[in-house]
Amino acid sequence: EKGGYDHFMLKEIHEQPRAIRDTLKGRISHAGDKVILDEIKMTTKEIQNIKRIVITACGTAYHAGLVGKYIIEQLVRIPVEVDIASEFRYRDPLIDEETLVVVVSQSGETADTLAALREARRRGARVVAITNVIASSVAREADDIIYTWAGPEISVASTKAYTTQLVAIYLLALYLAQERNTLAAGNIKEILNELKAIYSKAQEVLDGEQPIKDFAEKYCKHEDAFFIGRGLDYAVALEGSLKLKEISYIHAEAYAAGELKHGTLALIVENIPVIALATQQSLFEKMVSNIKEVKARDASVIALAMEGHTEVEKVADQVIYIPKTHQVLAPIITVIPLQLLAYYISVYRGCDVDKPRNLAKSVTVE
Ligand code: F6R
């Protein structure tokens, strides 16, 4: 049932190219210039009337939502707020008929996420659900559903659900951009073209896992780690840090790299592993400076950069390159080395990878 893999998590990490492809299937026009989301029943007029978007979810799905904020604000120019479902539901949220609420849940059964959905609908908002389970509670109660076609996810640590949630969010963002005319047709086509190729780039990352395995062996004895990044890389850093924490029990923190000098640098000491995400071209120079800041404290830096950005080799101890893609799409492939790193560290530490202590796959209680 594990398809020859030692753990469900590794199997599911390797299923990502297939899952990404399935989630895109039938949702891009033949000519490659339009998103087809028949499952969104809103009219163009209704889409044009949206004033605000609120994304709410828990855990990894919340991290997918954070990527969504950057993407939707950039491509659609609508203000987006992302909120943890257990916070959203209890704070008398500012939601009305002009708010679109996007709920993200792999299982579709997370108690807080479901309650947030109900609260949003009670206040008159339209709710789009992104979920992996057909006819789940979230799917049944939402106005519109975008299914992720990840297939069953057994490992407690979410991997293929996250990357397919990202794909669904990109499709939604591009669909809204298309209906609201916020992006030139050429730009939509360009991003869609890259999106169609992203699964093969995910495969390339998987094929190059050996160096990541070696880093895992090298770093598995540490008890602390930091993940830093800017923009979309910051959102991915949060997910990378969660993966490491939940399955290896290493204390890991993710920081927006610009925040380092506002306190975190005090924690950067000799040899501490810092995973520095530097995939965003427009923020690359800033990240190089941040890497220098932690190197000046003798941290051990693994940088993630896009192919061609070899300049990073001068400042980082090690570099993992991801295949070149449009910078807005980078999170889909940037997260994969971080999933593999967490996985192999967990294995080297002898942890129960698929069933980490104290955690359940589906949290149906508050
Ligand atoms: C982390 C993880 C959890 C879930 C969270 C939400 O790897 O799996 O953080 O993402 O419990 O679950 P769903 O998406 O089912 O609502």
Query: Which residues lie with the beta carbon below 6 Å from any ligand 1 atom?
Result: 58-61, 105-107, 110, 113, 157-158, 246, 362-363
| Three-state secondary structure call for residue 102 | strand
- In this prediction, residue 360 carries a pLDDT of 85
Q: Work out which ligand 1 atom sits closest to the CA atom of 156.
A: 8
Q: Rounded to whole angstroms, how far apart are CA atoms 126 and 103?
A: 11
pLDDT digits (tens, 9 = 90+) for 91-116: 999 999 999 999 999 999 999 999 99
d(CA 83, ligand 1 centre) in Å: 14
- Please tell me the residue having the least CA distance from ligand 1 atom 5: 59
Q: Rounded to whole angstroms, how far apart are CA atoms 277 and 232?
A: 9
Q: Work out which ligand 1 atom sits closest to the CA atom of 159.
A: 7
- In this prediction, residue 253 carries a pLDDT of 97
| Three-state secondary structure call for residue 164 | helix
The ipTM is: 0.99
Question: Helices 160-180 and 16-24, interaxial angle, to 10°?
Answer: 30
Sign of CA dihedral 104, 106, 112, 114: positive
Residue 361 pLDDT greater than 90, yes or no:
no
Query: What is the pLDDT of the chain when averaged over all its residues?
Result: 96
Cβ atoms 52, 100 nearer than 8 A: yes
Residue 363 pLDDT greater than 90, yes or no:
no
Instruction: Give the rounded percent of residues in the chain with a pLDDT score beyond 90.
Output: 96
Cβ atoms 66, 90 nearer than 8 A: no
- How far apart are the two ends of the chain, measured CA to CA in Å? 31
Q: Which residues are catalytic?
A: 361
Q: What is the CA radius of gyration of the chain?
A: 20
Residue 71 neighbours by CB distance under 10 Å? 24
- Tally the C-alpha atoms within 13 A of residue 159's C-alpha that lie toward its C-beta: 34
Q: Rounded to whole angstroms, how far apart are CA atoms 221 and 125?
A: 48
Cβ atoms 259, 294 nearer than 8 A: no
Q: Rounded to whole angstroms, how far apart are CA atoms 216 and 224?
A: 13
- Please tell me the residue having the least CA distance from ligand 1 atom 10: 60
d(CA 46, ligand 1 centre) in Å: 31
Band of pLDDT at residue 324, cut at 50, 70 and 90? very high
- Structure-model confidence comparison of residues 194 and 89, the more confident one: 194
Band of pLDDT at residue 39, cut at 50, 70 and 90? very high
Tell me, what DSSP letter sits at residue 6? S
d(CA 71, ligand 1 centre) in Å: 21
Ligand 1 mutation target, pool 60, 63, 339, most atoms within 8 A of CB: 60
pLDDT digits (tens, 9 = 90+) for 205-218: 999 999 999 999 99
Residue 365 pLDDT greater than 90, yes or no:
no
d(CA 242, ligand 1 centre) in Å: 11
pTM exceeds 0.95, yes or no: yes
- Tally the C-alpha atoms within 13 A of residue 74's C-alpha that lie toward its C-beta: 16
Question: What is the rounded average pLDDT of the residues 167-191?
Answer: 96
Ligand 1 mutation target, pool 12, 58, 88, 364, most atoms within 8 A of CB: 58
- In this prediction, residue 357 carries a pLDDT of 87
d(CA 182, ligand 1 centre) in Å: 32
Cα 12 to chain centroid distance, Å, stands at: 15
Question: What is the rounded average pLDDT of the residues 291-313?
Answer: 97
Ligand 1 mutation target, pool 13, 110, 117, 359, most atoms within 8 A of CB: 110
Q: How far is CA 164 from CA 123, 251, 268, in A?
A: 29, 27, 34
- Please tell me the residue having the least CA distance from ligand 1 atom 3: 59
pLDDT digits (tens, 9 = 90+) for 271-297: 999 999 999 999 999 999 999 999 999
